[in-house]
Amino acid sequence: MNWLLAVLYLVGGALSASWLVWRYKRRRMLEMASKLPGPTALPFLGNTLVFMSRPEETVNKLEELMQKYGEIYRFWLGPELNIVVRNPAYIRKGPVYDFMVPFIGSGILSGGPTWRSHRKIVILSYNKKSVENYFPVFNKECEELAKVISQKEPVTFDCYKDILRSTTQSVNQTLMGLSKEDSEQVYRLEEIIFKTHDMYTLIFNKMTKWWLQVPLIYWLLGKKKQHDYYLKLIDDVMEDIVRRRKKALEVSKPDEECMGVVDRLILSGELTDKEIKEETMTLFTSSQEVAAKIAAGDKVYQEIIDVVGPDGPVTNEQLKLLENLDMVYKETLRYFPIGAMIQRTVIEDISIKDGSITIPAGTSLVIPIHSLNRDPRYWEHPNKVMPERFLPENVEKRDPNAFIPFSLGPMDCLGRTYGTALIKTLVVWVLRYAKLEPAVSLDNIQLDIAISVTSFHGYNIKARPRNGRINGLS
């Protein structure tokens, strides 16, 4: 018993000493943090106990703290100081992205030392000229999806999987550079399509639950086994995609204007095989999931018929003329943000509120996108779906920073042009084939927060073939 007490005494002493050293090294940050409102933090743990909840409740926790402490407040996740504000500036990726590094590497999304050079390599595949060349694939895959949805039985169904399969095929045949045949044969493709969100949930839980950051607990709860499963799944899929593109490049090199990101990464000669697979995973998963969050109505359909017509391919120029569709698209991004929150690390001290508050360098700045998108100061009836809030006269009345669906700064979303073109093309084709009705009210939908944002109960709709469309055929 004496030896056990001695061990506990030594461990306690070591922890106390390390805590005092930590406080001394960060005394300036602690002093500045003390001037900000926020919940009382515990030694070592900070405020992690506040976030001991299901992932979908995290946004509500942040909102509760905002209601209590105001629109600028601080909380601690272990040793990391987080400051929540609604007006981001002079910021970059934050340290919680470190939890994603085992899965996607230290690069474009996670903001490692190579992100700038890697982004420079792939960005040409996302420009407007490249996206124009992707439209034949978009049209083909979106028409196939429209036929699938129009042939559904006249009952409620979750359209998410159908849309995800379609967008994955579009991504594979454009950004990944695969042929249709290769895309359909990628090893374990179907598995990764529907496991990505579960992987995000595991990452998000580890970010927000301090006990999962203890290796022994992570292993005992079976999380390490899940972690290793996802790593193997990612490696298998990305290895197959990269192998197929390397084999194809031995025969011929695609034109510069329609070259996919995988080919650019391979041909650059700047990345190791491991880095190529990691960046391929980053760009694959960030492109194929987002397009499953769409809703549209009769006004949009009539506009589509007037501008695009009832049949035939969709062009980028036509999409630019679909004003009602654009409003629905933006309202969808407001209601279902790609991420409920983003985090940045402050590069240098920032003074806000006329100099009354200073955010110290090294602080993690949390930008609550979901909360910003529901702020009644900027959005009338924020929990209702109202596309008309994006009419030009309404947009002019709002602070432009009230709506930042693709983030800000040099690390904003690479795929904003690509994703917008694919999603709008998808809507045009589906609405020309089927009339969609939501199964439940679109107001106050419960969100599932796990890196990306999805509907907790799925995307349940009813679909009826349009007049003149029988079994998905004209």
pLDDT of 227 higher than 50? yes
Q: Which residues are annotated as a binding site?
A: 413
**Stretch 422-436: mean pLDDT:** 93
Q: Alpha-carbon distance 277 to 192, whole Å?
A: 14
**Stretch 448-472: mean pLDDT:** 72
DSSP string across 169-190: HHHHHTTS---HHHHHH-TTHH
Give the list of residues 6+ apart from residue 134 with CB closer than 8 angstroms, or none.
170, 174, 258, 418, 421, 422
Q: What is the mean pLDDT of the chain?
A: 82
Helix pair angle (160-173, 416-433), 10° resolution: 130
Which residue type is seen at 89? A
Reported as a pLDDT band with limits 50, 70 and 90, residue 8 is low
Which residue type is seen at 432? R
Class level of CATH domain 35-465: mainly alpha
More confident residue, 40 or 344: 40
pLDDT single digits (tens) 359-392? 888 788 788 888 888 888 889 999 888 999 999 9
Q: Alpha-carbon distance 67 to 70, whole Å?
A: 6
**Stretch 347-355: mean pLDDT:** 77
**Stretch 224-253: mean pLDDT:** 94
**Stretch 214-224: mean pLDDT:** 91
Buried b (16+ CB within 10 A) or exposed e, 386-395: bbebbeeeee
Q: Alpha-carbon distance 301 to 296, whole Å?
A: 8
What are the residue boundaries of the structural domains of the chain, listed by start?
35-465
More confident residue, 98 or 53: 53
pLDDT single digits (tens) 61-115? 888 898 899 888 999 887 888 888 876 444 444 444 454 455 445 545 545 556 6
Q: Which residues are annotated as a binding site for heme?
A: 413
pLDDT of 210 higher than 90? no
Q: How far is CA 254 from CA 184, 189, 260, 401, in A?
A: 20, 24, 9, 39
**Residue among 329, 317, 303, 290 nearest 432 (CA):** 303
Look at residue 92 in the predicted model and tell me its pLDDT: 47
pLDDT of 456 higher than 80? no
Q: Percent of the chain at pLDDT above 70?
A: 82
